[in-house]
Structure 1
Amino acid sequence: MDRTSLKPSLLTELKKGYGAETLRRDLFSGLTVGIVAIPLAMAFAIASGTTPDKGLFTAVIAGFFISLLGGSRYQIGGPTGAFVIIIYAVIEKHGYDGLVLATVIAGILLIILGLIRVGSYIKFIPYPVTTGFTAGIALVIFSTQVKDFFGLSIEKLPPEFHEKWMEYFFSFHTLNPAATGVGIATVAIIVSVRRFAPKIPAHVAAIFTLTAAAWIFGIPAETVGDRFGALPTSFPMPQIPSWSIEKIRAVFPDAITIALLAGIESLLSAVVADGMTGSRHRSNTELVAQGTANIMSAFFGGMPATGAIARTATNIKTGARTPVSGIIHAFTVLIFVLFLSDVAEKIPLAALSGVLFVVAWDMSELKSFRRLLNAPKSDSGVLVLTFLLTVLVDLTVAVQVGVVLAALLFMKRMSDVTHVDYLTGNGGNEDKYDPDRISLYNVPDGVEIYEIDGPFFFGVADRLAGMLAYLQKSPKVFILRMRKVPAIDATGIHALEEFHHKCMNHNVPLVLSGVQEQPHKALRKFGFLNEIGEKNVTDHISKALIRAEEIMSKE
């Protein structure tokens, strides 16, 4: 599969031919995943501070468009746990209308990222950053579900993490034993089914069992219908959200976070699917599909969506062959909304909280978190900081700070692996096995040679600045070997220009040796080759030494 193409995987698969056996497999997988998605969509919506129908609408619309237009054969899209805290925060700050606008903007950003081919790079977000905010999200999801799990009488939960737990502490005497029993039973059933009957969807089994038990035995636990009333039995008409420049400015930081999370989660899910099946997804196509799906979800009264790893894995394990299974999954949820919403009203909220307790545990990646604590201090520091910012401050801040810190660490590491060596005089530090080591050549008196070893980026640029000052007297010619420089950026070129100017001020000609293809093209594009003179840029040290002798002979 051509990963640079923007052609949806659905078209590719249908062109190969679509037979009855493939349809049978996709139909079974789509129905199974659709049934699994129903309680999860409702649970994520409630945890996000909105109503369960919005989660269902998102599963239908986003799930359909992600499968229709996506770059993965197996991706299942919809509401996920990753978005719970950001949605909750946006609704708290800007209301549901603000969330809709932020989702549309995020969708537009995702489409742009896909069209400019950024999809291949988003997956390079550092592992400590993704692990830190994923673990933080898991803890926040867990903390938002304590009230319903134990049936506590709290009118409105405070948004802050520590205030929430203080409220739980002072309200724990209002615990509802019936709700607590439902919540514990839900977790127990999910764990048992996973262990003893792994082919059965554990979340569905738990919700079905506890809903039936609550209805038959009249268990006094609050249900979806008790809190939210009757769920819609029809699908909403699309509406363009109200907007203004002020509103866009207000929600734009949150839209960036939604877009970044959607991109990371969807591509991570697609990579997991590739690992399970041996297929290869199209990253940029997937981003365009995610962007379109989020825009359409917002138009139909939904919420942000992305690729769902657990549902995608379920799709694969139940035999899916093409994106048709994802489309069938969306229609399965739609049929439930249109004809079975009265069943959803009887689901105990404690059961949905039990499901989310397990989701939070699955998201926490506790083993990975512990292992990363033993990583180099820079990585473990980024992990802990991202985690704490997610839990105690805000996911938007956590993601942005985490990415910036990771970028700074990358700069430092690039600087650490690149060094400048003095190759002439007593300070020579050469590899004795190097066939082009300077000691094999006759270096004329007055010629000084330095070598840059490694990528010449902004983190290394300042090392050139004081190089002439280290020499006791100005050389007649200065040779800078660049044979070990695979790449140079604008800051590196600027530093090279500054160094050339210093050499000119000291009447010291500068000769470059062994310039590789990328640096050579970059230097030409910036006009530096014209400035230094083409004759002073050579492809080998022997030619650089000949050029140095030519320069000195003219003096």
Structure 2
Amino acid sequence: MVLRCRGHHFIGINMLSALKKSVRSKPSSQDIQANILAGLTVGVIALPLSMALAIASGVPPQHGLYTAIIAGIVIALTGGSKVNISGPTAAFVVILLPIVQQYGLGGLLISGFMAGVILVMMGLGRLGKLIEIVPYPVIVGFTAGIGVVIATFQIKDFFGLEVAAGGEHYLEKLANIAQAFPSLAWQETLVGALTLAVLLVWPKLRTKVPAHLAALLCGGIVAWVMTQTLADFSVATIGSRFHFEASGVIGNGIPPFLPIFQWPWNLPNAVGEPIGLSFELIRELLPAAITIAILGSLESLLCAVVADGMSGKKHNSNDELIGQGIGNMLVPLFGGIPATAAIARTAANVKAGGNSPLSSVIHSVFILLGILLLSPLLSYIPMASMAALLLVVAWNMSEAKHFIRTVKIAPRDDVLILILCFSLTVLFDMTVAVAVGMGLAALLFIRRSISLTDTKALARQTDSTEIPDDVVVYDINGPLFFGSAQKALKTIAMVRPDVKIVVLDMSEVTLLDMSAIVAMESIVNDLANKQVGLIINNLQPRMILKLRRAGVRKRLGKVEYSRTLSDSFKLVDKMRHGSSLL
């Protein structure tokens, strides 16, 4: 796909770069076997996680499985990373849950499709370096806030609380949870605590069986045995909580058939009616779609960077964004929620020997077979066990050690941004947090860039040249843009009455935008009115061209351009007598 032509060089996007690299490397039978085993390993981890993250997002668990199936195949084949594993992630939970509550499943899938379109546009616009311009405190603040919100919302199922409906904001929901603690169910708490204990202890055994699988098996078996032996023992399970209807038959748990194609706008809204498609709906969902796209791009590119460090491979960031966009455009058409690359699953893939998109495809096929063959068994998984699993996911995502370390050692501005992003994510929502966080990060960057630009007058004696009394030389260092131009140039206009010529040494000026050009025009006119000449020294040719186009050129011998400071001093006598260099 070619975007534009410049001379004889074509500038475009190298589509399917990860797949092409994998095919060109001519994988051996051992590589294929390693990728199949890695895919199976990741599939075992992804299957329960996909269900848990869908439940946390406010939709039935099968929609998380559909996401892992479609996204795992499509994004792996069209993206720019050979080892990324894509699917539902915890980062999206805080964004998706309010959408489901307000617009229902249909609204969620439409916003996911819109986010996919935005991601493709970001990739075509070559914004793959996005991860490099987002400050570390912003990322840590988002992720820590998301972790806190996810953990809070799991308290209800972990303890089996009967929480009253209502509460739009975090503090209101937290108050409802606190008031519901008298309804604590010891059966749910026992199963949840057992699952959590296994999740924490199992990794220390260093066995190849994933902790997620072992914990859910233990929780499910204990819950089933206790239910069969104790008359008053009862726990909520996936089968008792979720239901489906197919061909007029109502079933419990996860439907044991393939995801089907369906337009998202035909799916229900928050009140169970088809949501439809309108410009007003698109306008209302656009902020959430932008937030999903931004967070998805950050998560996928960060995951690719981590995977590169572990595998020694190199990803194509723009291709990865396009692949993520294509995946998120297709996933909603089969009932899947927004997807992005998952760091935990990708790391497990690399550690298990995965080095090509084949492992991601195998992981998706495993989940597909799990739906077809294991749906009745999956229905026995207790909701308390799923809550325990999400508590661990939330803790790992919060990166508490990095959060505390940043608060201790970071500059004050970074700490304030960290705490603000964290607070906004928890107390309000991710859309507000992303907008404010990115805006503050941009302002902080501008302020720090302004501090890099400095203007100072040189001493009367420079090297072996003595500066005449009626000449002043200003050394300008750093970029001149809308934030720094006024600060750097305002002192130049305030010259002494006895000064006849001003020399601007711009050897270290790296940027000149329209605001700086306007400021330069103002200085030229002001100095001309005072009959003061101006020499601009060693400015890059492309910037001189900008000034000349704007009219900052030779005017009655009062503006000159020189290449060295010595040349500037040679021009002084010519300008005193009103002569011109040309």
Please confirm whether the aligned pair reaches a TM-score higher than 0.5, indicating the same fold: yes
What are the equivalent positions in structure 2 for 1:356-371 lying under 5 Å apart?
Answer: 356-371=390-405
Q: SS of 2:434's equivalent?
A: helix
Aligned-partner residue type, residue 571 of structure 2:
R
What are the equivalent positions in structure 2 for 1:58-457 lying under 5 Å apart?
Answer: 58-154=67-163, 156=165, 158-197=167-206, 199-218=208-227, 220-229=234-243, 230=252, 231-242=254-265, 243-374=277-408, 375-425=410-460, 438-457=462-481
Query: In structure 2, how many angstroms separate the alpha carbons of the residues matched to 1:92 and 1:102?
Result: 13
Query: In structure 1, how many angstroms separate the alpha carbons of the residues matched to 2:308 and 2:497?
Result: 60
1:332, CA displacement in angstroms?
0.9
Q: Deviations over 1:300-339 (max 9, x none)?
A: 1111111100000000111112111011111111111122
Aligned-partner residue type, residue 337 of structure 2:
M
Q: Deviations over 1:401-424 (max 9, x none)?
A: 011101111111111122111114
Contact 1:147–1:154 (8 Å) recurs in 2: yes
Q: SS of 2:484's equivalent?
A: helix
Contact 1:126–1:406 (8 Å) recurs in 2: yes
Query: In structure 2, how many angstroms separate the alpha carbons of the residues matched to 1:54 and 1:388?
Result: 30
Change (3 A) 1:60 1:386: same
Query: In structure 1, how many angstroms separate the alpha carbons of the residues matched to 2:280 and 2:501?
Result: 60
1:191, CA displacement in angstroms?
1.1
Change (3 A) 1:422 1:174: same
Contact 2:476–2:488 (8 Å) recurs in 1: no
Task: Provide the residue aligned with 2:249 in structure 1.
Answer: none
Query: In structure 1, how many angstroms separate the alpha carbons of the residues matched to 2:490 and 2:542?
Result: 26
Q: SS of 2:496's equivalent?
A: coil
Query: In structure 1, how many angstroms separate the alpha carbons of the residues matched to 2:323 and 2:548?
Result: 41
Contact 1:123–1:268 (8 Å) recurs in 2: no
Task: Provide the residue aligned with 2:56 in structure 1.
Answer: 47
Task: Provide the residue aligned with 1:532 in structure 2.
Answer: 553
1:216, CA displacement in angstroms?
3.2
Query: In structure 2, how many angstroms separate the alpha carbons of the residues matched to 1:346 and 1:513?
Result: 78
1:28, CA displacement in angstroms?
0.3
Task: Provide the residue aligned with 2:5 in structure 1.
Answer: none
Query: In structure 1, how many angstroms separate the alpha carbons of the residues matched to 2:93 and 2:449?
Result: 36
Q: SS of 2:180's equivalent?
A: helix
Structure 1: stretches of 5+ with no match in the other structure: 426-436
Task: Provide the residue aligned with 1:552 in structure 2.
Answer: 576
Match of 2:542 among 506, 510, 521: 521
Query: In structure 1, how many angstroms separate the alpha carbons of the residues matched to 2:30 and 2:547?
Result: 59
Change (3 A) 1:141 1:523: farther
1:365, CA displacement in angstroms?
0.8
Task: Provide the residue aligned with 1:462 in structure 2.
Answer: 486
Contact 1:60–1:334 (8 Å) recurs in 2: yes
Query: In structure 1, how many angstroms separate the alpha carbons of the residues matched to 2:545 and 2:493?
Result: 28
Structure 2: stretches of 5+ with no match in the other structure: 1-10, 228-232, 244-251, 266-276
1:166, CA displacement in angstroms?
1.4
1:464, CA displacement in angstroms?
4.3
Query: In structure 1, how many angstroms separate the alpha carbons of the residues matched to 2:261 and 2:564?
Result: 66
1:25, CA displacement in angstroms?
0.3
Task: Provide the residue aligned with 1:496 in structure 2.
Answer: 520
Query: In structure 2, how many angstroms separate the alpha carbons of the residues matched to 1:440 and 1:263?
Result: 56
Match of 2:506 among 473, 478, 482: 482
Contact 2:493–2:523 (8 Å) recurs in 1: no
Aligned-partner residue type, residue 448 of structure 1:
V
Contact 1:119–1:284 (8 Å) recurs in 2: yes
Query: In structure 1, how many angstroms separate the alpha carbons of the residues matched to 2:294 and 2:516?
Result: 29
1:21, CA displacement in angstroms?
0.6
1:225, CA displacement in angstroms?
0.7
1:56, CA displacement in angstroms?
0.6
Q: What is the root-mean-square deviation in Å for CA atoms of aligned residues? A: 2.0
Contact 1:6–1:282 (8 Å) recurs in 2: no
- The answer to whether 1:16 aligns with 2:50 is no
If each structure's strand is expressed as a fraction of its own residues, which one has the higher value?
A: 2
Query: In structure 1, how many angstroms separate the alpha carbons of the residues matched to 2:83 and 2:529?
Result: 63
Contact 1:94–1:251 (8 Å) recurs in 2: no
Query: In structure 1, how many angstroms separate the alpha carbons of the residues matched to 2:138 and 2:488?
Result: 33
Number of aligned positions between the proteins = 540
- State, as a whole percentage, how many aligned pairs show the same letter: 39
Q: SS of 2:497's equivalent?
A: coil
Moved more, 437-446 or 17-26: 437-446
Q: Deviations over 1:177-221 (max 9, x none)?
A: 111111111111111111122533111111122112222332521
Q: SS of 1:478's equivalent?
A: strand
Query: In structure 1, how many angstroms separate the alpha carbons of the residues matched to 2:257 and 2:544?
Result: 63
Q: Deviations over 1:71-121 (max 9, x none)?
A: 111100000000001000112232222211211111111111111111113
1:343, CA displacement in angstroms?
1.6
TM-score w.r.t. the length of structure 2 is: 0.89
Q: Deviations over 1:40-65 (max 9, x none)?
A: 01111111111101111111111111
Q: Deviations over 1:106-141 (max 9, x none)?
A: 111111111111111333200000100100000000
